[in-house]
Each structure stands twice: as C-alpha cells, then as structure tokens.
Amino acid sequence: MLSTFFLPFLALLSDIYYMGVNYRGKLSNRLREIVDALPLFPGARVLEIGCGPGAAAREIAERISEEGYILAIDRSARAIQQAMDSLEGAEAKNIRFLQLSSEQLELPPEEELFDIAFAVRVGAFDGRHPEVQEISLRQVAKALRPEGKFYIDGGNPLREIFLDSYR
C-alpha cells in the first residue's frame, strides 16, 4: 500500500533529476559540469539539441548575456511545453524553445547560424541509429557557422564532434 503511493513520486523525482534538474529546482551536478565545459562567451549563439525541460538552456541564457541567444530544441512536445512553462514571468528574450528533432533541424530563414551546438543524451548521436545520425550531423553542420563547434556528452564531460565532412 505504501509503495503504491511512493513509487510514482520516486519515479517523478528520478525523471526530474535525470532531465538535469534536481528536486530543489537547481541544475544537477552533471549538467552543470557540461554547461561549464562549453566554450561560452558573451554574445554567443548556442543551439541545444534535446533540451528536455530547458534546464541547461536557462543556465546558458544567463551566461551568454542579453546579446547572446540560445535556441533549444526537443522532439518531445511535453518537454518543450515544460521548458516554455518554466519561463513564465521571466525576462528571457535571448532564449527560444522549438519542438523539433535533430534530423528535422531546418533553421527558419530569419535565424542566424550558431557558434556552438551541443546535445546531451540524444539517441541520434550515440551510434545506435547510424542513418538518423548521418542526417542529424548534416543538419547540425548546416546550422553552425563555418568555425562553429559541436559537442556531445561522453567525454570528460563533453567531446567535440568534427563536422568537416558534413559541411
């Protein structure tokens, strides 16, 4: 009886922590290490692929100043809704959330290219789906400036994916 009540609650806490936010609403240590490892600078244009509820995107928006901009995408409508809800009442003019998968990534015509792109725990980049990975890497390469960099988790804590053959 007790487990019937607590199991869904524990699953929710686990899900929230997994998506980069601990139960106190702060960035998890792992996600903070990833954001710290990105070569962010004031005015940077950043693309996050697989943003979940937007924890990393919100942190990055603060670090890149108002002159910077982050576009955060996720294939999940629910995750994008959570991310947008998390901005209610906040002054976040340099952040945008879109429901989009990595293989469908086509920048709107008004969108400038990005300096940095990154993905954390995104299946399209973990080697399990080679055909999706090829399409996604091509799309990321098109979204980056010629000198732009792409990072995924799996390094210490990130590793750079070189996109020269996709440009």
Give the pLDDT confidence score for residue 110 in this predicted structure. 85
The total of structural domains in the chain comes to 1
Tell me the C-alpha distance between 17 and 12, whole Å: 9
Residue 96 belongs to some domain of the structure: yes
Q: Is residue 118 part of a domain?
A: yes
**Residue 117, token pair as written in the block:** 């792109």
Q: Kindly report whether the peptide bond that precedes residue 53 is cis, defined as omega within 30 degrees of 0.
A: no
Instruction: Give a yes or no: residue 159 inside a domain.
Output: yes
Q: What is the pLDDT along the chain (167 residues), one digit of tens a residue?
A: 545 554 444 444 444 444 454 433 578 999 999 999 999 999 999 999 999 999 999 999 999 999 999 999 999 999 999 999 998 766 678 999 999 999 999 998 888 999 999 999 999 999 999 999 999 999 999 999 999 999 999 999 999 999 999 99
Contact residues for 159 (Cβ-Cβ < 8 A; gap 6+): 151, 152, 153
Query: How confident is the model over 72-111, as pLDDT tens digits?
Result: 999 999 999 999 999 876 667 899 999 999 999 999 888 8
Edge-to-edge strand ranges of the sheet holding 69-74 = 95-99, 69-74, 45-49, 114-119, 144-153, 158-161
Token reading at 52: 């979940």
Residue 116 domain-assigned (yes or no): yes
Residue 106, pLDDT score: 94
CATH code at position 43 = 3.40.50.150
Joined tokens for residue 9: 């609650």
Instruction: Kindly state whether residue 11 falls inside one of the protein's structural domains.
Output: no
Q: Is 123 contained in some domain?
A: yes
Q: Does some domain include residue 32?
A: no
Cα atoms found within 13 Å of the Cα of residue 106, Cβ hemisphere only = 2
- Domain span at residue 143? 39-166
Is residue 16 assigned to a domain?
Answer: no
